[in-house]
């Protein structure tokens, strides 16, 4: 997820472009760039934040320009991989948000036709395609070029000597800002709110020609009458897309994140662990915090599907081991790719001759440099300290990874692929059940101690639910394997210590009901998280949060989203600073 902007008008474009870009840094901030057109094209870009670029960039002239702030997916953050990207003539330039799935084959073909590529990005094929088809009509050339492109894109095209911008979108957001003798293009509303509150929302397939005095939208090759909308949000509200906190926005992004992460892999069949040289007799997963809970879930899934012993280790604990026990495959998991404990563990493994793979959300992060191989989650930038969508993306990679090498029969895997594809809509059902969760949060917000209990594949979910509640609501919460409660924690049970019981329709169901009876017998109120239609649990628990029916192996997905919302609304009830809780950091770069 990157941020793109365009301006054409009577004012000098540079400061306007930089102002708009700064408002889009929540979409990506690892590198940025601008290009301005007068009779020629001037491009300035680097692996810095927008503020820094504003300071170091030279005076650039032009009343038309484009800009980009990046969240790298293909090619790590660097000056050459930053946008805008140009064609061979240096006259056509493009900024892009999205992913071109067939960029490698296009690149090969264009190279064969004499085009020279300078970056590692997927985007660079677009200006070269436009150059290939340009015969005096920029709009026509863009239209033809996009016929060759597979994937998602929002693009703005600028050409030296051309008094117009061409913008187009498919599966990536793009809006037009309407000004007085000037017009704007942007990935999202926050970018342009300082200049205008009049916008046009473009649809998939729209190709738009923008001059300082006109806007023409072609849909399916036909010019349409566009509709203007008036925006009443503040810039900050708009950055949160109208949600009160980034955390709630990021929780609601999960259906899309699941789709993006799966599409990124299942469709392109990108190579993963080159198992060839690593006999899959065992696996080590290591991480910290929420990523560790993904690792622990990965252990359960991998042991079930790969039928091999899997260790899930806390990276900080792994680093305290004197011996580095050998495992054929070691996988580190880290959203930021900068967590010191995880990086140290990765280095230790490499120093002792191990092959290390990393699952990370940040292209070009230190972890991706240390690792022998990197699998990127496609969660986009996660602003809220509490990890939510990044955890979901990690789960998707772990499901897909283990399914790709599973030892279970093909029909089971086929069923799971069907289940996997249904997850975005199942998660949406949980999000639509927010009111019920809000009720439970009002109840939970008055307690200072809470237990989460789960069994099997939902034990890590109990840990994650407790961590989310702890870190944003400041309630002391513990996650437990439900079978462990009677070995000590029972001593803490009373009317003031509610228990959140995760009840899945799998081989742990009966044992969970027994545990709930034991907890209730000791006076603790029980909030059960259970599948819709489960009458037995309605009778047993004090209150029930229902989740949609899914294949048991995917129950952690819907259960986690429900617990994220429960933590969010409980913290909101308690008036906590949800996005930036005390004493925590988004990336813990110290041991």
Using CB under 6 A, list all residues that contact ligand AGP.
Answer: 288-291, 334-336, 339, 342, 385-387, 471, 587-588
**Exposed/middle/buried for residue 323 (C-beta within 10 Å: 0-12, 13-18, 19+):** exposed
Concatenated DSSP letters for 378-443? ------SSS--HHHHHHHHHHHHHHHHT--S-HHHHHHHHHHHHHHHHHHHHHHHTHHHHHHHHHH
CB 175 within 8 A of CB 233: no
Establish whether 86 is a catalytic residue.
no
The Cα 477–Cα 469 span in angstroms is 7
Q: Which residue among the candidates 140, 347, 520, 586 is catalytic per the annotation?
A: 586
Nearer to ligand AGP, 125 or 566 (CB): 566
From CA 410, how far away is CA 390, in angstroms rounded?
29
Burial of 312 per CB tally in 10 Å (0-12, 13-18, 19+): buried
CA dist., res. 212 & res. 10, Å (int): 7
Nearer to ligand AGP, 356 or 386 (CB): 386
**123 vs 365 by CB, closer to ligand AGP:** 365
For 481-506, b/e burial (b = at least 16 CB within 10 A) is bbbebeeebeeebeeebbbbbbbbee
**Please, are residues 486 and 499 in contact by the beta-carbon 8 Å criterion?**
no
Instruction: Indicate the residue among 96 and 468 with the shorter CB distance to ligand AGP.
Output: 468
Token digits of residue 127: 């200006």
440 is catalytic: no
- Structure tokens belonging to residue 356: 């290390």
Of the chain, the end-to-end C-alpha distance in Å amounts to 30
Q: How far is the CB of 375 from ligand AGP (least distance, A)?
A: 14
The SS3 of residue 56 is helix
- Tell the smallest beta-carbon distance from residue 251 to ligand AGP (Å): 12
How many C-beta atoms lie closer than 10 Å to residue 414's C-beta? 10
Residue 45 CB, shortest distance to ligand AGP, in Å, is: 27
Taking the complex as a whole, the smallest distance from the CB of residue 332 to ligand AGP amounts, in Å, to: 9
Shortest distance (Å) from residue 372 CB to ligand AGP:
18
Which residue, 288 or 552, has its beta carbon nearer to ligand AGP? 288
Q: Among the residues of 279-388, which ranges form H helices? A: 289-306, 315-318, 340-351, 366-370
CB of 530 to ligand AGP, least distance (A): 25
* Residue from 2, 20, 288, 440 carrying the catalytic annotation: 2
Residue number, 414 or 584, with CB nearest to ligand AGP: 584
| Catalytic residue annotation | 2, 586
């Amino acid at each position: 997820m990157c941020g793109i902007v365009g301006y054409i008008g009577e004012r000098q474009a540079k400061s306007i472009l930089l102002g708009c870009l700064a408002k889009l840094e929540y979409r990506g901030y690892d590198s940025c760039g601008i290009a301005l057109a007068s009779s020629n094209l001037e491009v300035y870009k680097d692996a810095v934040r927008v503020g820094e670029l504003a300071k170091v960039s030279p005076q650039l002239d032009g009343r038309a320009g484009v800009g980009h702030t990046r969240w790298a997916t293909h090619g790590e953050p660097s000056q050459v991989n930053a946008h805008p990207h140009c064609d061979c003539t240096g006259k056509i330039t493009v900024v892009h948000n999205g992913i071109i799935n067939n960029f490698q084959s296009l690149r090969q073909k264009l190279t064969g036709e004499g085009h020279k590529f300078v970056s590692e990005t997927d985007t660079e094929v677009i200006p070269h395609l436009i150059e290939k088809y340009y015969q005096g009509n920029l709009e026509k050339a863009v239209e033809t070029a996009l016929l060759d492109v597979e994937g998602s894109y929002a693009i703005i095209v600028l050409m030296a000597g051309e008094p117009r911008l061409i913008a187009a979108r498919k599966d990536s957001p793009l809006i037009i800002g309407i000004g007085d003798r000037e017009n704007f293009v942007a990935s999202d509303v926050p970018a342009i709110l300082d200049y205008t509150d009049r916008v046009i929302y473009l649809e998939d397939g729209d190709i738009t020609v923008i001059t300082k005095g006109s806007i023409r939208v072609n849909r399916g090759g036909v010019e349409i009458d566009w509709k203007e909308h008036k925006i009443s949000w503040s810039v900050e509200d708009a950055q949160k897309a109208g949600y009160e906190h980034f955390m709630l926005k990021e929780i609601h992004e999960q259906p899309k994140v699941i789709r993006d992460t799966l599409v990124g892999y299942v469709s392109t069949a990108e190579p993963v662990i080159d198992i060839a040289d690593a006999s899959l007799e065992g696996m080590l997963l290591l991480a910290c915090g929420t990523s560790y809970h993904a690792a622990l879930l990965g252990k359960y899934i991998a042991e079930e599907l790969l039928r091999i012993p899997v260790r899930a280790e806390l990276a900080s604990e792994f680093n305290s081991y004197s011996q580095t026990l050998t495992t054929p495959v070691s996988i580190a998991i880290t959203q930021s790719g900068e967590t010191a404990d995880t990086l140290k563990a990765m280095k230790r493994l490499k120093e002792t001759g191990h092959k290390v793979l990393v699952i990370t959300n940040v292209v070009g992060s230190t972890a991706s440099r240390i690792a022998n191989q990197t699998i990127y989650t496609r969660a986009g930038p996660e602003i809220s300290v509490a990890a939510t969508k990044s955890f979901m993306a990690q789960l998707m990679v772990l499901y897909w990874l283990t399914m790709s090498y599973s030892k279970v029969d093909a029909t089971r895997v086929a069923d799971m692929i069907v289940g996997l594809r249904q997850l975005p809509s199942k998660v949406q059902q949980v999000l639509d059940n927010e009111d019920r969760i809000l009720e439970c949060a009002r109840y939970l917000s008055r307690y200072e101690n809470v237990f989460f209990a789960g069994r099997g594949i939902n034990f890590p979910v109990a840990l994650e639910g407790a961590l989310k509640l702890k870190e944003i609501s400041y309630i002391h919460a513990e996650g437990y394997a439900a079978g462990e409660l009677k070995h000590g924690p029972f001593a803490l049970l009373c009317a003031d210590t509610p228990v959140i019981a995760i009840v899945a329709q799998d081989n742990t169901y009966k044992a969970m009901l027994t545990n709930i009876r034991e907890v209730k017998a000791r006076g603790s109120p029980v909030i059960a998280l259970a599948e819709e239609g489960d009458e037995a649990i309605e009778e047993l628990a004090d209150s029930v949060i229902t989740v949609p029916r899914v294949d048991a192996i995917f129950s952690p997905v819907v259960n986690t989203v429900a617990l994220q919302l429960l933590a969010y609304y409980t913290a909101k009830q308690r008036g906590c600073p949800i996005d930036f809780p005390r004493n925590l950091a988004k990336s813990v770069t110290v041991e």
